[in-house]
Structures are given as structure tokens and as C-alpha cells.
Structure 1
Amino acid sequence: LGSGSVHPGRWMRDIKHWRADQKAGHAVFTVVDRKTANLIMKNGLVVQGKRLLARKLEEDPRRCYKCQFLNPGHTADQCPSIAEVCPNCAGCGHPAGACKATAADYKCITCRKMGCPYQHAAWDRKRCTMFMEAKKELRRKHPENNYRFFLSE
């Protein structure tokens, strides 16, 4: 790769939120063009002597972090909901950090309102029916996301 073809990266989750024993995390890098991105995704990237795997960063459905609804057309600072809804237990009046619910007690407010199975947290990407449906809709609107590599000429 040429000098300047990969811009400085950032961690997906801020280091201050890592567990004490955590030794690895996901990072996002921006590159100068699709050809460079495809080359890195095909061959990997070596950072400080360690080979890293790479993939496209796909857009996720947006979620309001106050009412927890997917694609609501607003963000938490403009949310019309009076009370904050916990993403873990779907209870009102406390943030996730103060939630006392265990995983067995998790509930998804979005799935519950839509009549889907809701015994999971609102942030559970693998079990949330509404998240998976919204993700499917994004892929339908942006078919290029179905490909492993970026389309190029």
C-alpha cells in the first residue's frame, strides 16, 4: 500500500469502556479508494506485526437511544417520549447502566409493541426480529451491501 492510503483508525468501542481483561477490539479505518479497500479486505492488513482481517462497515438501522425504537425519524435529543426506556428491560425511568435485570429478564420494547417475540434486549442484533427486518430493508435499499467487496470499475 502506498503512503497515506490508510487514514488513522478509531476503535468501535472507546477504550475506556473495555473490560479490564480485554486484549482485542474492533477498529474502523478509512482508505483513499475502493481499490485499496478491496485489496485490504482480500489480503488483510498488518498493524504492529499482527495480521488483521477486514470487511466493509455496513450501515445499521438507526435507533433512538431514549425510546429505543428503530428508524423512528428522530434522535434521543428530539425524542417525543416523556420517559427514557431502558434497552435491557424495557422499563421506564432508568438508563441501561442502572438496570438490575438479568439476561433472563431482558425485554425489547420495539418487538413487544410490534407483536414479535421480545425476550431479548433492544440492542440484541441476533435475536431482535425488528432489527433483523430493518437490516433486511436497508440491504434491499442498498444492494451493494450484499457484496463482500466494493463495486469498482
Structure 2
Amino acid sequence: MQDFQKGLGVGAQVKPRHYKVVAQYVPVSFDPENAYDISTVENDNDIQHGNLVAARWIKPPEKRAPGQSVAFLLISFLTAQDANKAITKGLYIASKHVPVHRDQEEPQRCAKCHKYDPPHLARDCKAIHETCAACASIHHKTAECAISNHDEFKCINCKARGHAAWEKSCPTYKQALHKLRARRPRDQLPSLPAG
């Protein structure tokens, strides 16, 4: 790769492809920013040193529930073989065997209007008001919503009560996910294709 990069000229960079998986129910005592913890995962799972290139919690630690003991971890491998081995056999992390699945792309939901179709970012949103993802109100932002009772949530997408716009049980989310999977059938394979 270095020879190829030199041939491209000054300033050119070739970035290696990383293969992402999700480790489930990982003890929160694991520190993905600690080189020793990463090295221990490589050793415990017979992964060549340096092939586990990155790890981070999917949900920020400050947003965890009080007393939460496990969380989901996004892991990037340098090779598809290591990622697929993790998917097939699971991983030992912080002395616990945890299941692993490939990272799946999810439908893009706007952070302003919370719509899936057409896919867009909040900065490109044409909606006049920011909508609350919890109760569908245009009078306050999601972070300012006073509703905490799940039964009182109202989805802006399907208009149903009992769930918020971010929930995967929403029929509109399921429809957007189905459309995304139809466009990318390779993503439905249980393992990661190499190359």
C-alpha cells in the first residue's frame, strides 16, 4: 500500500478498509481507549496484534442508565477474516464471552424533522420548525420535552401513540429499513465479504 501511495504523488493518502462489528453486552469495566484492554482482547481471541484497530461504545457512557453493567461496543478490524471470526465465535472481552454481529447501516433520520424520506441531514432540512422526536410537538425540541411516560409518546412519522420517532418498533422505521436493505442486499449477509 505504501508503494501504491508513493506512486499517487505528494500528499496522497490511501486509507485501509476497516470491517466493523458490534459486540453485545460488553462489561462497562472495559475501556476501549485503553491500549492494554485492546491488546488483551486481541490476545484472548487469537487476533494478530494491531488488527483490532478501533473500539468505541455505541451509546456515550454519560447517557447510560444508573447501575448499567453492560453496553454495546462498535469494533473495527483490519481484516474481514478477524471480523468474521468474531461474528462466528463471539469475543472474550473483560473476561466475558459476548455475542457479535456485523454492523448494519440504519436508515438516516433527520435530527430536525425526524423524517426518513427523503434521507437528509438537519442542515439540509426544509422543515420550518424543529420537531420533538418524543411527542411530535413543534413547540419544543426533543431535549426539552417534559413527557417521560412512554405511553404518552407520539411518533411524528406514523402518528401512532406509544412510541417515539427513534424507536425501531415504528412501522415507518421498518419500512425505511426494508427499502435500505433492498438497495444493498450484500449488507444482509451474516458475514462480511472480503475486499
Same fold (TM over 0.5): yes
Question: 1:80 — aligned with what?
Answer: 126
Q: Does 1:108 align with 2:155?
A: yes
Q: Does 1:125 align with 2:168?
A: yes
Q: Does 1:3 align with 2:49?
A: yes
TM-score (normalised: structure 2): 0.70
Unaligned runs of 5+ in 1: 113-117
Considering only CA atoms, is the larger Rg found in Structure 1 or Structure 2? 2
C-alpha separation in 2, matches of 1:65 and 1:41: 31
Question: 1:115 — aligned with what?
Answer: none
- In structure 1, the residue corresponding to 2:70 is in which secondary structure? coil
Question: 1:148 — aligned with what?
Answer: 190
C-alpha separation in 1, matches of 2:53 and 2:65: 27
TM-score (normalised: structure 1): 0.88
Q: Could you tell me how far 1:95 is from its partner in structure 2?
A: 2.0
Question: 2:111 — aligned with what?
Answer: 65
CA-to-aligned-CA distance 1:68-110 (integer Å, 9 cap, x gap): 1014343112322221100011001312232122222211112
Question: 1:139 — aligned with what?
Answer: 181
Structure showing the higher strand proportion among its residues: 2
- In structure 2, the residue corresponding to 1:29 is in which secondary structure? strand
Aligned-pair Cα RMSD in Å: 1.6
- In structure 1, the residue corresponding to 2:53 is in which secondary structure? coil
The percent of aligned pairs where both chains have the same amino acid is 27
C-alpha separation in 2, matches of 1:78 and 1:143: 28
Q: How many corresponding residue pairs?
A: 147
C-alpha separation in 2, matches of 1:81 and 1:55: 36
Task: Could you list the structure 1 runs, at least 4 aligned residues long, displaced by more than 3 angstroms after superposition.
Answer: none
Q: Could you tell me how far 1:152 is from its partner in structure 2?
A: 4.2
